[in-house]
Chain A
Amino acid sequence: MENIPGTNILDEVTQGDYKFGFYTDIENDTAPRGLTEDTIRFISAKKEEPEWMLASRLKAFRHWLTLKEPEWAHVHYPAINYQNIIYYAAPKKKEYASLDEIDPELLETFNKLGISLDEQKKLTGVAVDAVIDSVSVKTTFQDTLGKHGVIFCSFSEAVRNHPELIQKYMGSVVPYTDNYFAALNSAVFSDGSFCFIPKGVRCPLELSTYFRINAANTGQFERTLIVAEDSSYVSYMEGCTAPMRDENQLHAAIVEIVAMDDAEVKYSTVQNWYPGDKNGLGGVYNFVTKRGLCKGRNSKISWTQVETGSAITWKYPSCVLMGDNSVGEFYSVAVTNHYQQADTGTKMIHIGKNTRSTIISKGISAGKSNNSYRGLVKILPAAANSRNFSQCDSLLLGDRCGAHTFPYIQARNETSIVEHEATTSKISEDQLFYCKQRGIDTEKAIGLIVNGYAKEVLNKLPMEFAVEAQKLLAITLEGSVG
C-alpha cells in the first residue's frame, strides 16, 4: 500500500487540526465544583426559578443517584468523575437590552464562529439563540417572531414567562427517569432554548441555536423544547463548538419535540464540538438525549445531523410515532477521525396506525476512530400497516479505524413491513482512478467521492447549514479541520 503514490494522502487528510479551538477570556460566574443538592439549589437560585422547578430538579437528582452509568455503547473512556465538574458557568454580565451592551469579547467569539448576532442576520432570515457556557446570551428577531405568535427564547425566560407551557411539556417526551444522562440533565440543566409555534402558523424564519462551551472544567447541560401546535411548521437548526482543552468536557443535553396534528418539525444539527487532538487527548464527551413525539395525526418530525466533532458521541435522536399516519425521518452523516468514537443512530417507535419512518445513516471513519450505527425500529401491536426503511452505509478511510452497525428491529404487528440494509466499503480504487485520469488530484477526488456518498443526507439540510456542512466535510478531509 505504501508504495502506491497518492495513498498516503489518506493519512494526511485525516490528520488535520480543529479550527474553532480558541478560548475567549470572559469573566464567568461559576458554581463550585462538584454535584450535591446544594449545587442544584445554587443553580436554581442563580436563575431565580420558581419553587416547582427546583422541586423537579431535586426529584431528578435523587433519581440520578440511584442510576448506574450505561456501558452498552461501543465506546471506551476513563470513568467520569462527576464531582470534578463545574455544573454552572455563566458570562458575568447578563440581561442585554441591545447589542452595544454585549461584552465585545463575546461578540468577537461569535464573529469567529461566523454567527453574527446583529442585524446582518436579517438578510439570511435566521433567528438565533446563542448559548454560551450553559446560558443563553442573546436571542435575535424576537419582534418578527412575536408578530406571528411564535415564542422563541431562552429556556429560563420561558420558565419565567410561560410557566404553564413548560410545566405541561417539559419531561413529557424525555422524562427524568429516561436514562442516566437525561436524569443528570434534568437535575442540573442551566439553560437552553424554548420554541413554541401556535396553531396554523408556518414559522417565517429558520430558528437557530448556537451552543459553545467556553470556560474550563465546565460541563454543558442545556435543554431544548420545541412545541408545534396543530398544522404548524418550523425548521430548527443547532450548531456547537468548544475550545481546545486537554481535559475532557462533558456535554449532556436534552432535546424534546412535540408535534401535534398535521404539524411538522425539521431539526437539523451540525455538531462540531472539539474532538480532541491527534493523540486522542481532550475533547468533548457528547452524551445527548434527543427525542421527538409525533403526538397528533399526520404529524412529522425529521432529524438531520452532521456529526464531525466530539471525542465521544452517544446520541440517538428518536421519533415516537404515536399519532396515526405520522412520519419520522432520520438522516445522518457521522465522521470520526483520530481517536474519536461515535455510537450514534436513532430509534423509531411505531405506535399509531399507518406510521412511516425512514433512516438513512452514513458513517465515515478515518484515523484510529470507531464509528458505530446503533438504531432501534420498534413496531408495536397497534401500529397496523406501519412501514420502515433503513439504510446504513459505512465508509472506511484507512486500515486502523472501525465501522460497526448494530440495528435492533422488533416487530409485533403482522401487517407492518420493515426493511434494513447496510454495506461497508472503502473508497473504490476504480472511482479514484477515474477521477485522477481526468485530472482531479487525489485529495479533491476523495472529497468529491465522500461528498457524493453523503449527499443524500446533506441535501436534507436547510440551505445555510448545507453550505456549512459541506464545507466542514471538505475541510475535515483536507486536513485543516479535525
Chain B
Amino acid sequence: MNNEHLVQEISLDEMLVNQFDTQFELISANDIEAVTALRKEAMTQFMTTGFPSSSDEKWRNTEIEAFTEENFQYYLTPMEPERDIEDMFRCEVHNFDTEIISLLNGWCADKKPGLKTLPNGIVYGSLRQAMQYFPEIVARNYGKIADFRSNGFVSINTAMVQDGVFIYVPDGVEAEKTLQMIKMIDRRESLFVQSRNLIVLGKNSKLSLMHCDDSINHFKSLINTVTEVFIGENAHFELYKLQNLNNQSGLVNSTFIRQEANSTVKTNTLTFNCGMIRNNITVDLQGENAHADVLGLYLMDKKQHIDNQIYINHNAPHCSSNEKFKGILDDEASAVFNGYIHVARNAQKTNAYQNNNNILLKPTATINTMPFLEIYADDVKCSHGATIGQLDQEAMFYMRSRGISSSNARLLLMYAFAADIINQISIEPLRQRIDDMVKKRLRGELSVCEKCVLHCGMPEKEYHFDIDLSKL
C-alpha cells in the first residue's frame, strides 16, 4: 500500500521533488488541465526557492528548519484508517448541529459520495471529486489568489496536493447549518500532510465554517494547508479555526480570502495547542464597502511556538478592517505576530485597525510583535497598537482582598483577557463550548484531546471556575 513513498535518508524537499518527477501521473491523475499546468509552474518555483528558512526575513522568528529538515513520509494515495472513522469524527457539541466534512491525514475520509449537494444547492466535499463534477468552478478559482510564488509552502502545496475540501454556495443561498471541517492526523509514523481547500461563495450568500485541526497520537507531523476563499458581492462569511495538535506537530496554514463589494468576513483563529504553528492569513478587500474582522486568540505553554502573519490589503475605497490578536504565553512558549495593513493608492476612506495584546506569565516566555502599516492613500483612518504586559496587580489585589485564591484570581483575569475574543463568536452554542475550552485550557486540563477537539471530556456539563461571584 505504501510503495509510493521513497526511502527516507534524503531531505524532505529532495524527497518531494523526486516524487514529483517519478510519480507525476499519479499526482495529477484526477486533475483538470488548469491544475496540472499550475503544478508544473509551482514545482519550478519550489525548485529554485525550496522551503523557507529562518534566514528569510518573513520567517526570521520561526525555526522552521526543525520541521523541514526532518524525515517525514508523504503518501500519494489515501491510507487505510487505523481506527474506526465514524467514531473518530463524531462530534458532540451540544445544541450545535453541523454538516461535517472529515479529512484523515489530508484526504477526505467521508464514505461515498465524496461530494454532497444539499437541497438548497450548497455543494461540499472532496476537492478531488469537485474537479470531476464542477470543473468550471474549480478552473475559474483554483490558484487565483493563493500565489504559489508567495512562499515555498504554497508552491509545494500547489505542485503536489491531491485532495482537500471544496465548498460552493450558489448566489442568494444562505447556509442553515454551520459546516465543520475536521482535519485529523492519526498515523503511527511521522507524516508530511498537505491539503487544499477551495471555498466559493456566490452573491448574497452566507456561510459559516469551522475548521478544526486535530491530532490524535503523539507522532511528529508537518501539515501544510492552503485555503482559498472567494466571497461574492454582498456575501457573508464566518470562519472559525480551532487548532489543537500535539506538541510534536507543525502546522503551516495559508489562508487567502478575496472579498467583493459589500461583503463581510469574520475569521477567528483559536490556537490551543500545537508544537509549531504558522498562520498566514491574507485578506484582499477588492470591492467597495467590504468589511473584514480578523481575530485570533492563542494560549501557548511548554515549548510551543505560534507565528501569525496577517496581511490585509485594502485595494478598494470605503472598506474597513478590524484586526485583533490576543495571546497568553506561559513556560517557554514563544509567539510572533506580524500584522500588515496595506492601503493602496486609490483606497480612500479606508478605516483600518490593528491590535495585538500579549500577556507573559513566565520570564522564559517570548513575544515578537510587528504591527506594520503601509499606507499610500491620504484620506484614511488607520491605527494600530501593541502591548506586552502581565496580569493587572491591582485587580489581583482586589480579588485577593475579597477572599479569592491567587490561582483563581489569576484564572479569572486571564479568562477576562481572552473573553474579548471569545465573545465575538456569533454562534452561541459554539461560543459556549469554546468558552469552556478556554477555561479548561487555562487550568491546564486541556491537552491533546482524545478525539475531536470539541469532545472536551465532559461535553454535557458547563464549566465554571470555583468562584463565588457574589463576593465581587
The interface of chain A, by Cβ under 8 A from chain B, is 72, 74, 379, 381, 394, 396-426
Contact = CB atoms under 8 A, between A and B. Distances in A.
Interface stretch (B38-46, B356-364, B461-469): B356-364
B390 A421 contact: no
Contacts of B371: 405, 407, 420, 422
B363 A413 contact: yes
B14 interface: no
Closest 4 A/B residue pairs (Cβ)? A396-B378, A414-B360, A418-B388, A405-B373
Contacts of A406: 370, 372-373
Given A399-B378, A414-B361, A409 B373 contact: no
Contacts of A401: 376, 378
A430 B369 CA distance: 35
B387 A424 contact: no
Nearest to A370: B376
A422 B385 contact: yes
A424 B383 contact: yes
B380 interface: yes
For A399, A405, A425, the residue with the greatest tally of chain B CB atoms inside 10 Å of its CB is A405
Nearest to B384: A422
B366 A421 contact: no
A334 to B, nearest CB: 15
B382 interface: yes
A395 to B, nearest CB: 9
Given A404-B372, A407-B386, A414 B365 contact: yes
Contacts of B388: 379, 409, 411, 416-418
Contact of B375 (A381, A404, A417, A419): A404
B368 A410 contact: yes
Nearest to A406: B372
Contacts of B378: 396-399, 401, 426
A413 B383 contact: no
A381 B363 contact: yes
Contacts of A426: 378-380
B274 interface: no
Nearest to B376: A402
Nearest to B350: A424
A193 B381 CA distance: 44
Give the interface size class of chain B: 35 or more
A418 B375 contact: no
B368 A414 contact: no
Looking at chain B's contact residues, the main secondary structure is strand
Given A398-B378, A404-B375, A414 B386 contact: no
B381 A418 contact: no
B330 to A, nearest CB: 10
B377 interface: yes
A379 B365 CA distance: 12
B110 to A, nearest CB: 44
A424 B360 contact: no
B366 A410 contact: yes
A403 B375 contact: yes
Contact of A399 (B358, B363, B377): B377
A421 B383 contact: yes
Contacts of A422: 371, 373, 383-385
Nearest to B381: A425
A400 B345 CA distance: 7
A411 B366 contact: yes
B444 interface: no
Contact of B386 (A396, A398, A418): A418
Given A410-B366, A413-B360, A426-B379, A420 B372 contact: no
B374 A414 contact: no
Contacts of A416: 388-389
A477 to B, nearest CB: 16
B57 interface: yes
Given A421-B385, A422-B385, 15 more contacts: A381-B364, A398-B378, A402-B375, A406-B372, A408-B368, A408-B370, A409-B370, A410-B366, A411-B367, A418-B389, A420-B384, A421-B383, A423-B382, A423-B383, A424-B380
B358 A411 contact: yes
For B358, B380, B388, the residue with the greatest tally of chain A CB atoms inside 10 Å of its CB is B388
B348 interface: yes
Contacts of B348: 399
Given A414-B363, A414-B390, A404 B373 contact: yes
For B358, B375, B390, the residue with the greatest tally of chain A CB atoms inside 10 Å of its CB is B375
A216 B2 CA distance: 71
A388 to B, nearest CB: 9
A415 B370 CA distance: 20
Contacts of B379: 399, 426
Contacts of A412: 363, 365-366
Contacts of B387: 417-420
B362 A414 contact: yes
21 contacts: A394-B373, A399-B345, A399-B378, A401-B378, A404-B375, A405-B371, A406-B370, A406-B373, A408-B368, A408-B369, A409-B369, A409-B370, A410-B368, A410-B369, A411-B360, A411-B367, A413-B360, A416-B389, A424-B380, A425-B380, A425-B382
Contacts of A394: 373, 375
Nearest to B362: A414
B346 to A, nearest CB: 9
Nearest to A388: B388
Interface in B371-412: 371-390
A68 to B, nearest CB: 12
Nearest to A378: B368
A415 B391 CA distance: 10
Contacts of B374: 74, 402, 404
Given A72-B57, A410-B367, A424 B389 contact: no
A417 B373 contact: no
A406 B388 CA distance: 17
Contacts of B57: 72
A152 B332 CA distance: 49
A414 B389 CA distance: 7
B382 A409 contact: no
A318 to B, nearest CB: 17
Contacts of A403: 373, 375
Nearest to B391: A414
A34 B370 CA distance: 40
A405 B385 CA distance: 11
A439 B373 CA distance: 36
B436 to A, nearest CB: 27
Contacts of A381: 363-364
Nearest to A416: B388
For A408, A409, A412, A423, the residue with the greatest tally of chain B CB atoms inside 10 Å of its CB is A409
B361 to A, nearest CB: 6
Contact of B368 (A397, A409, A419): A409
Contacts of A424: 373, 375, 380-383
A409 B367 contact: yes
